[in-house]
């Protein structure tokens, strides 16, 4: 009787925790869907404005496919390294998780650096977001993605701090899973940007 009595509160607490994490996961999926809607609207806006150059430079004048391909590879590889961090987390390898997250952060930082370099070069040529509808749509879409990546980088650093201090506890693993979803989502969005913005712009 005493064993049953002792086990019941523990079981109820475990069920409550599982329900709480499920609610958080559901809420995060809703957030990702709203973010997807925002990016869909930005894509639509860019497509509508893409021909409105107002006599200014076009994509073929401004875009460098090798530069953009480098950005793409950085983000794709960073998604792979985040996946390796998730596998290490499942194996309970705290050191491996921290190492793979650090590599992911370096790759993401390099991506943001290349994007800032691209923006600065375009503005220096007089091709800022106020030059034409095309450039306004471009800077808004690509810049919004860049801001998301920057937020993701900050989140990775915070996550590394939590893993280093708290270990691979259930709450930390839950947050890591949601951060992984966010990072992979940004990778998918970038593939769309590469396909819709840069490739047609240089061809």
pLDDT tens readout for residues 102-161? 999 999 999 999 999 999 999 999 999 999 999 999 999 999 999 999 999 999 999 999
For residue 201, which phi and psi values (nearest 5 degrees)? Answer: -70, -30
Question: pTM of the predicted model, to two decimals?
Answer: 0.88
User: Nearest CA to 159 among 146, 174, 145, 172?
Assistant: 172
Q: Which tokens belong to 94?
A: 């705290």
Task: Write down the CATH number for the domain with range 61-202.
Answer: 1.20.120.80
Answer yes or no: are the C-beta atoms of 149 and 108 closer than 8 Å.
Answer: yes
Helix and strand tally (H, E) in the chain? 7, 0
pLDDT tens readout for residues 152-201? 999 999 999 999 999 999 999 999 999 999 999 999 999 999 999 999 88
Mean local confidence (pLDDT), 82-92: 96
Look at the alpha carbons of 45, 189, 138, 50 in this order and tell me if their dihedral is positive or negative: negative
Domain segments of the chain as ranges: 61-202
Mean local confidence (pLDDT), 72-101: 97
For residue 84, is pLDDT > 50?
A: yes
For residue 102, which phi and psi values (nearest 5 degrees)? Answer: -65, -40
For residue 63, which phi and psi values (nearest 5 degrees)? Answer: -80, 140
Query: What's the rounded Cα separation, in Å, for the pair 78 and 150?
Result: 13
pLDDT band per the 50, 70, 90 thresholds, residue 203: confident
Query: What's the rounded Cα separation, in Å, for the pair 84 and 145?
Result: 23
Answer yes or no: are the C-beta atoms of 175 and 159 closer than 8 Å.
Answer: yes
Q: What is the DSSP letter of 57?
A: -
pLDDT tens readout for residues 25-36? 888 899 999 999
Q: What 3-state DSSP class applies to 63?
A: coil
Query: What's the rounded Cα separation, in Å, for the pair 36 and 41?
Result: 9
The pLDDT > 70 percentage for the chain reads 90
pLDDT at 13: 55
Angle between helices 94-124 and 133-166 (to 10 degrees): 160
């Amino acid at each position: 009787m005493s064993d049953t009595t002792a086990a019941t509160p523990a079981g109820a607490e475990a069920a409550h925790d599982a329900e709480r994490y499920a609610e958080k996961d559901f809420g995060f999926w809703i957030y990702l869907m709203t973010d997807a809607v925002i990016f869909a609207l930005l894509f639509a806006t860019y497509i509508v404005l893409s021909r409105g150059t107002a006599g200014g430079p076009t994509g073929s004048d401004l875009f460098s496919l090798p530069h953009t391909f480098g950005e793409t590879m950085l983000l794709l590889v960073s998604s792979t390294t985040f996946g390796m961090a998730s596998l290490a987390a499942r194996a309970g390898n705290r050191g491996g998780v921290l190492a793979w997250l650090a590599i992911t952060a370096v790759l993401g930082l390099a991506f943001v650096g290349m994007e800032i370099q691209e923006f600065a070069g375009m503005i220096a040529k007089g091709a800022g977001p106020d030059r034409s509808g095309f450039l306004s749509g471009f800077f808004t879409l690509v810049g919004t993605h860049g801001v998301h990546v920057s937020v993701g980088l900050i989140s990775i650093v915070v996550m590394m701090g939590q893993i280093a201090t708290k270990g691979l506890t259930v709450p930390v693993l839950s947050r890591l899973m949601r951060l992984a979803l966010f990072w992979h989502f940004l990778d998918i969005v970038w593939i769309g940007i590469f396909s819709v913005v840069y490739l047609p712009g240089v061809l």
